[in-house]
Amino acid sequence: MSRFQRAVVQVRARVVGDLIAPGRPEPSVFVYRPGLQKEDAVSVTMPVADQAYTYHGLHPVFAQNLPEGYLGELIRKHVAKLYGTGDLAVLTALGRHQVGRVVVSDVETGAAGVEDGGESLSRLLKADDASLFEELVEKYALRSGISGVQPKVLIPAHLSDKSAVRTDGFIVKTWGEDFPQLAANEYFCMTLARKCGLPVPQFHLSDNGRLFVMERFDRREDGRWLGFEDACVLQGLLPDDKYSGSYEKLAKTFATYLSPEQRHQGLRWLFLSVAISWAVRNGDAHLKNFGILYDQPFASRRMAPAYDIVSTTPYLQQDVPALALGGRKVWWPVDYLVDFGRRSCGLARREVMAFLGTIEQELLSTADLIDNYCDLHPEFDEVGRRMVRVFTHSASQLAEFAGQ
């Protein structure tokens, strides 16, 4: 058991409550401190109140940033040597270096988080050093409170070696042996999303194709941190449950938590995101890959930009969607998407068809981009040609449906 059984929770550098997580079978308990305002809430699902919030496991809003996979194993091994084991030990070690406005920190030391100058974006994109990602992990692993099994790290950054202009920081991803060339895969899927009009963060692909670099979206221009909550948090689920449920339920969740003035636009983007994931055969569009952003939890809440869109079937030919639609986890006929857009997202049929027409066109144009990239980067040829076949097949399905 971790020696960290109790931690303080901060929102924008202000202590708002205490978290006690003794470990199962005992529940975790979070209690707000007195004298708080409603904007001090740690989650839209946990408003400021006199009551204690209990959960069997770490509360979803705290668990959402627990590192997974390669990064998670590395961090947990390092943290265990210094602080003990357990999720709370990991979070307190990460301190300020997590996605969003909520910080879990050591009772004694408070939240750490003084940023250095970080890395040069130009270096990340131009370097031809295959070991660069390992170097970044060694330097920034304990500053990377971010979920997901793909190898990734959070880094502070500036634009170039000749410029001190800071950015909001970057999420830097690479790939392992199981999913070769995943950085370029994600780059082209996100390019398709952007071309279709889906809001996405700024992103880049390194010249050697080894790194996908995406700007963080959880910080305002004035440097203040935005609140971010993924759909697991909104549904009261832990990260392990990210593949449970359906896209219809996901739409209901966002209809509930998006502000009224943001609801229609947010559901339009949700439909477009699900349709694009269908088009590229993204079997990893699970609950943690959708979320909301806000300045204050009970003011304006909007859809977070799209992220983590990849084509999974080039690696897993029998892969299926992450969530069900129409009660099925298959690559659905196009009319399932139309029904989802109309019934769950509240869109008119003409709006749904316009979105699908745009996706059809941009699938073909992006397939051309992939073809050209394959010619210049033969190491991407096998994965890239498979992606082209996926993109063109989806485009033909959309064209056939539109012609009926």
Among 50-59, 89-98, 252-261, 292-301, whose mean pLDDT is lowest? Answer: 89-98
Beta strands in 56-190 (DSSP E): 102-106, 119-120, 152-155, 157-160, 163-166, 170-173
The confidence score (pLDDT) of residue 112 equals 47
Q: What is the pLDDT of residues 173-218, one digit of tens each?
A: 888 888 999 999 999 999 999 999 999 999 999 999 999 999 988 8
Across the chain, what does the average pLDDT equal? 88
| Per-residue confidence band for 342, with pLDDT thresholds at 50, 70 and 90 | very high
Dist. CA 329–CA 323, nearest whole Å: 6
Task: Among 60-69, 71-80, 332-341, name the one with the lowest average pLDDT.
Answer: 71-80
- Asked if the model's pLDDT at residue 158 lies above 80, the reply is no
pLDDT of residue 211: 92
CATH 3.30.200 given to domain 119-215 = yes
Average pLDDT over residues 305-330: 97
Q: What is the mean pLDDT of residues 37-52?
A: 96
- Residue 185: its H or E element: helix 182-195
pLDDT digits (tens, 9 = 90+) for 264-280: 999 999 999 999 999 99
Each residue's pLDDT tens digit, 123-155: 788 877 777 887 777 777 666 555 655 677 778
pLDDT for residue 113 is more than 60: no
| Domain ranges, ordered by start, for the chain | 6-106, 119-215, 227-402
pLDDT for 360 equals: 98
Pick the CATH number of 227-402 from 3.30.70, 2.70.98, 1.10.1070, 1.10.150: 1.10.1070
Q: pLDDT-based confidence at 223, cuts 50/70/90? A: confident
Residue 383 is predicted with a pLDDT of 98
Give 369-404 pLDDT, tens digit per residue.
Answer: 999 999 999 999 999 999 999 999 999 999 999 987
C-beta separation of 358 from 197 below 8 A: yes
pLDDT of residue 131: 76
Torsion angle defined by CA atoms of residues 208, 209, 210 and 212, in that order, rounded to the nearest 10 degrees: 130
| pLDDT confidence tier of residue 92, bands split at 50, 70 and 90 | confident
What is the arithmetic mean of pLDDT over 22-36?
87
pLDDT at residue 98 above 90?
no
CA distance to 147, 189, 211, 262, 275, per residue, from 267 (Å)? 24, 20, 31, 9, 12
Whole-number pLDDT of residue 143: 62
Query: Bridge-partner residues for 55, per DSSP?
Result: 28
Phi-psi category of 274—alpha, beta or left, where left has phi over 0 and alpha has psi -120 to 50?
alpha
Query: Is the whole-model pTM more than 0.85?
Result: yes
Amino acid at 79: V
Residue 31: band (very low, low, confident or very high) from pLDDT cuts 50, 70, 90: very high
Is the pLDDT at 162 greater than 50? The verdict is no
Q: Which residue has the higher pLDDT, 294 or 150?
A: 294
Each residue's pLDDT tens digit, 324-338: 999 999 999 999 999
Q: Please determine whether the domains at 119-215 and 227-402 fall in the same fold group of CATH.
A: no
